[in-house]
């Protein structure tokens, strides 16, 4: 389950960097819906199902961490600006061809 949490946080950044933030809710709803449907079909408790296999445990960690990761990213950055376009402490450093700051 810990691997799913780490992967979900990573995917939040990947979706943002790839300018595909709109795709994240679609993935969460589709994969989450399938996961819930499989859980209901199993007839077992939530905690038992979430730990019943590697895929179910991974998805149980992935979905909430992706939502949390996107939410925290949006709050900290103030939107979904790509990580590669963020500047350090709000400073834009332009470099000349010789490598000195200009």
Q: What pLDDT score does 91 carry? A: 47
Bridge partners (DSSP) listed for residue 95: 101
Give CA angle at 70 (69, 74), nearest 5°: 115
Cβ within 8 Å of residue 55, ≥6 positions away = none
Q: What pLDDT score does 74 carry? A: 82
Q: What pLDDT score does 7 carry? A: 74
Instruction: Give every residue of the chain whose pLDDT is below 50, as ranges.
Output: 91, 93, 96, 102
Q: What pLDDT score does 72 carry? A: 85
Q: What pLDDT score does 32 carry? A: 87
């Amino acid at each position: 389950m810990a691997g799913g949490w780490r992967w979900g946080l990573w995917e939040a950044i990947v979706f943002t960097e790839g300018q595909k933030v709109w795709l994240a809710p679609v993935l969460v709803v589709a994969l989450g819906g399938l996961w819930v449907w499989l859980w209901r079909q199993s007839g077992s408790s939530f905690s038992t199902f979430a730990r019943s296999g590697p895929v179910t445990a991974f998805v149980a960690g992935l979905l909430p961490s992706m939502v949390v990761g996107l939410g925290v990213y949006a709050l900290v950055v103030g939107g979904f600006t790509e990580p590669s376009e963020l500047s350090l402490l709000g400073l834009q450093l332009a470099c000349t061809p010789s490598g000195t700051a200009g």
